[in-house]
Chains A and B, each alone.
Chain A
């Protein structure tokens, strides 16, 4: 079993950077992808590695990955037993990476590896997280881009991390920073917001985005509801993750106040009114009180959970976001 745990020497710092690419049924893309990454990164002259996390592909991806690794020791394939999803693949890549900086990107060639050097330069400038912004997205407008614009706007408003493109996989992180953020569920879409938990300095960079050449898109419109719920969770965790009693307490306030108001109103004026009004009013008031009290007690349980957990309890701080929208030379690689 020990073989499958991250080893001590897997900690960051050995290499200059690691490129982490989750791949799932991408047999046609991985070879050109690797070639492009090498073409972009070799001129930098820094030691790096390419971690290809195979998320339980059912096509020929595993053999191709092994073949790539045989020919180039910098390519490290990691194979999941079955399909666990993109967040798990990224998390595994992060945990097993050995670079001081981690660059994540999609395995479908829609991200352009030629953007990697610019992202690394931003990290060198002192930022902890550099997010790609697919300003000229090559996706369907109505089903992919409109929901994304709305979601990014809401995430920005709620979490205070106002970047344009949370969903872009091409991102660079300082390893010491991102490794302290544990990803789970489908949180890879919200890494910038999650990174605020570690007081990260975040920058945004316009990156190239290319139309899909191979394979099919693995997302659809049917995930709107799930994204809404995820946004609520992100808001709660980034703002109140260490103080759930505060969050639940705030939510119980309107119920309690409304209940109290109703009760006073009906006690003062309702006695003279019809029995019907008295019944409806007082019952609603009592129920609102019950609800508020319930929320409050849930908050207290939440507080207990957090106290016994392993995320450090610390005050919430605002994270600075740097809007350096560097235009890139899209024509160079188009």
Chain B
């Protein structure tokens, strides 16, 4: 685990507040950080306007020399800031988990290390969270002010996510989220699934809501990623889809796909058999024959893998909890 590898700034421990604060503000510095001094200035001004005692935690995910320098200087100016540096790049999910562990507040705010939403919107967001009943409130950048290309790829990502997970949220991967400490304690994103933190929280039965906020004009830089990044995002959504839908009933998925493939195989082979019996021509030289037979094999394979999955679930059913209790009598 990354936690054992964290390198704290030496002075951090001494200034760590003893008492629980109300708000824990968490900034993970993972990719494309803006000038962190400016990030801190703007966020802290907005937080001061909200008028609540807060702690500010930076988690520096890996060696970013420039960001490290900025944080050092920032720490000298504002010793109350907590800075955690991970000794290599672990990914944002781990950085978030490290931050969640250090957060003392009853409410945790995560903020991106670049200007994604207008910081001036923070007080309104905090107020909405405290007045509402949500366990997690996520910002929805709307209306968008950035380039058409950005909007197009966001739209594609959102459509796929909505199609596969059925979420009604509009901006799942927005970095600005406000949540109760309990959500941060229970929902542990791993891999790249931090992008879907609201969905993971929803899956555990927390109430998740969204709030329209102004997008920062600085968020409008045209973002073009490597093709591999797009592929990874797609796989992440797919992984989420399987985790949500089929982990407790693997045969539902493998059985369905397996029988469909086997049925297609039987149909193809049957067609070729009839074709041959009617002496319409030879079939051994036809690739369709191999396809048909292989489809049957694959179908049986998938079905039995589903059965194996069921055995695994049954054997470990004691560790699997199907529900989360909200209240019960404690007489």
Contact = CB atoms under 8 A, between A and B. Distances in A.
Do they bind each other?
yes
A92 interface: yes
A107 interface: no
Contacts of B249: 185-186, 229
B329 A236 contact: no
A258 interface: no
A184 B320 contact: yes
Contacts of A73: 331
A73 B322 CA distance: 27
Task: Count chain B CB atoms within 10 A of each CB in A3, A92, A185 and give the residue with the most.
Answer: A185
Given A229-B255, A284-B293, A302-B308, A92 B314 contact: no
A82 B251 CA distance: 24
A229 B253 CA distance: 10
B318 to A, nearest CB: 5
A56 interface: yes
Contact of B326 (A81, A233, A237, A284): A81
Majority-rule SS of A interface residues: helix
Interface in A208-233: 225-226, 229, 232-233
B297 interface: yes
B205 A80 contact: yes
Interface string A288-329: 001100110010011001101111000000000000000000
B205 A306 contact: no
Given A251-B304, A284-B293, A294-B301, A310 B318 contact: yes
Contacts of A298: 304-305, 307-308
Contacts of A283: 290, 293
Interface in A240-290: 241, 244, 247-248, 251, 255, 275-277, 279-280, 283-284, 287, 290
A88 interface: yes
A69 B329 contact: yes
Contacts of B301: 291, 294
Interface stretch (B68-76, B166-174, B281-289): B281-289
B317 A182 contact: yes
B277 to A, nearest CB: 13
B311 A290 contact: no
B314 A279 contact: no
Interface in B264-307: 282-285, 289-290, 293-294, 297, 300-301, 304-305, 307
A250 to B, nearest CB: 12
A305 B255 contact: no
A301 B308 contact: yes
A91 interface: yes
Contacts of B294: 287
A279 B123 CA distance: 75
Contact of A91 (B206, B305, B308, B323): B323
Interface in A80-105: 80-82, 84-85, 87-89, 91-92, 96
Given A287-B293, A301-B308, A310-B316, A79 B327 contact: yes
Task: Count chain B CB atoms within 10 A of each CB in A87, A275, A308, A309 and give the residue with the most.
Answer: A309
Given A229-B255, A287-B293, A309 B324 contact: no
A291 B304 CA distance: 11
A237 B328 contact: no
A76 interface: yes
A309 B316 contact: yes
B315 A310 contact: yes
B204 A184 contact: no
Contacts of A276: 282-285
A229 B331 CA distance: 42
Given A69-B329, A185-B248, A237 B310 contact: yes
A77 interface: yes
A234 to B, nearest CB: 10
Q: How large is the interface on A (under 10, 10 to 19, 20 to 34, 35 or more residues)?
A: 35 or more
Contact of A87 (B204, B305, B322): B322
B204 A81 contact: yes
Contacts of A185: 248-249, 313, 322
A91 B248 CA distance: 15
A141 interface: no
B329 A76 contact: yes
B304 A81 contact: no
A80 B324 contact: yes
A276 B324 CA distance: 61
A84 B293 contact: no
Contacts of B326: 79-81
B117 to A, nearest CB: 28
B308 A88 contact: no
B204 to A, nearest CB: 7
B266 to A, nearest CB: 13
B330 interface: yes
Contacts of A88: 322-323
Contacts of B304: 248, 251, 294-295, 298
Interface string B228-250: 00000000000000000000110
Given A92-B323, A280-B289, 16 more contacts: A84-B324, A88-B322, A185-B249, A229-B252, A233-B251, A247-B307, A255-B300, A280-B283, A283-B290, A291-B301, A295-B300, A305-B311, A310-B316, A310-B318, A311-B315, A311-B317
Interface of A: 3-4, 56, 69, 73, 76-82, 84-85, 87-89, 91-92, 96, 182-186, 225-226, 229, 232-233, 236-237, 241, 244, 247-248, 251, 255, 275-277, 279-280, 283-284, 287, 290-291, 294-295, 298, 301-302, 305-306, 308-311
Interface of B: 204-206, 248-249, 251-252, 255-256, 282-285, 289-290, 293-294, 297, 300-301, 304-305, 307-308, 310-320, 322-331
